[in-house]
Amino acid sequence: MALALIILAAGLGTRMNSTRPKVLHRLAGAPLLHHAMDAARALQADRVVVVAGHGADAVEAAARAHTPDAITVRQEPQLGTAHAVLAARAALAGFDGDAVVLYGDTPFIRPETLRAMLAARRAGAHAVAFLGFETAEPGRYGRLIMAGDRLIRIVEAKDATPAELAVTFCNSGVVAADAATLMTLAASVGNDNAAGEYYLTDIVAIAAARGQSATAIACDAAETVGVDSRAGLARAEAAFQARARADAMAAGVTLIAPETVFLAHDTAIGRDSVIGPHVVFGPGVSLGEDVEIRPFCHLEGCTIESGARIGPHARLRPGAAIATGARIGNFVEVKASRVGAGAAVGHLSYVGDSDIGAGSNIGAGTVTCNYDGFAKHRTEIGADVFVGSGSMLVAPVRLGKGAMIAAGSTITDEVPDDALAFGRARQTNRPGLAARLRARLRAAAGRRD
């Protein structure tokens, strides 16, 4: 059956104390909205509708960055969850299938949970299915009042009787229904309440009045955690990292000090890789098998093939591609460059906009001078090249296969295959001048005192 996801992302999130819409605050390197949209990707939803409001332009741009064919609509003004769902009505006109309502600030709902929710609705021929969770401290959550597999009503805590307050099955707000039925029920919701808003939870009573049943299934309470403050964002980050670290170790990755390693939402690490303490993965990092990342490295937007060794204290920036068996040493930065198989960039070097051939060695303190103040230029280094320490390679420049660069050289022209290049001034020694200069400087310093 066809499936549509409606993701509600119109709120500002006043408790975030930010000019940025709540759903654009980042969790594991990606906007909260993208985490919610990942469910659409996993479920292969036929249609994705994002309901924007505060900061709509930015929210819509983020939605399209994740899913280019996502439909964006606006809820103006913001008058509650049922009102938000109705903002998607035109986008789902003529759609024949189920619709699931998700929230852009609730990042942990699993695709398996949504599948179970849809299956429960269809199996019981229910008009509506809600997602609930059990908690020992239900507090202000709405209670799901059940009779067998039927959801009788949803009671807000402030309106609940003592018996209803004792119920620990609580509402997450996630809803599934036939798309046309959902819109019909949402259109019948009124706003006769203190806030004057249209609440989606009212559709249970409306459905019952029409002879239609509702159901609810339970998921782990951790899935339903929403983010509405900076403290909540920090808790969500901690929960994400704990789960991601456990998943990595279960998949055969060694984390020497797991609590110090931070993973992104899309980090991919191959089996038998070893990650040292205090390593940070930004978005877009993929590691092959048997890779070692030594302590205090920062990786983002890069690929590292099997058997490579990185760090310590290395930084790989977007576009870095490290081939099989290559070595990137301490305090090395690599950006928009490919380092070939078995090549080594030992320490204290910058490699930007470059291609380094297999087996080449880049000495300490080497810099590829890639920027002239207006444009970036590439450095091409062939296979089995030796670059001496302290060399400046001024791009655009090419070093041929097997070339050698003398330490301390500044290279501005092409070096042919197997050639040895020197690019430094002749050394001049002036006997006794150092002693005379020290005496002069010492005397000058004394006069200033």
Domains (ranges, CATH) in the chain? 2-224 (3.90.550.10), 230-421 (2.160.10.10)
As given in the structure block, the two tokens for residue 442 are 């010492």
Say whether 315 sits in a helix, a strand or coil: strand
User: Per-residue pLDDT tens for 292-337?
Assistant: 999 999 999 999 999 999 999 999 999 999 999 999 999 999 999 9
Residue 152 contacts residue 133 (beta carbons within 8 Å): no
Residue 30 neighbours by CB under 8 Å, 6+ apart: 264, 265, 266, 283
pLDDT per residue over 188-219, tens digit each?
Answer: 999 988 778 899 999 999 999 999 999 999 99
Per-residue pLDDT at 346: 86
pLDDT for res 449: 61
List, as one string, the DSSP characters of 219-267. Answer: E-GGGG----SHHHHHHHHHHHHHHHHHHHHHTT-EESSGGG-B--TT-
Instruction: Return the structure tokens found at 435.
Output: 């002693």
Element (H, E) at 43: helix 32-43
280 burial via Cβ count (<10 Å: 0-12, 13-18, 19+): middle
Catalytic positions, written as ranges: 347
Low-confidence ranges of the chain (pLDDT < 50): none
The per-residue pLDDT for 84 is 96
Residues 6+ apart with CB under 8 A from 305: 288, 291, 322, 323, 324, 325, 326, 341
Query: Which residues, other chains included, contact 49 with Cβ-Cβ below 8 Å and sequence gap of 6+?
Result: 4, 5, 6, 7, 70, 71, 72, 73, 88, 91, 92
- Cβ-contact 405, 440 below 8 angstroms: no
Residues in Cβ contact with 144 at an 8 Å cutoff, skipping those fewer than 6 apart: 130, 132, 151, 154, 167, 169, 170, 171, 216
Q: Can you say whether the dihedral through the CA atoms of 118, 123, 127, 133 is positive or negative?
A: negative
Can you give the pLDDT at residue 102? Answer: 97
371 CB contacts (<8 Å, ≥6 apart)?
352, 377
Instruction: Take residue 360 and report the two structure tokens written for it.
Output: 């080449």
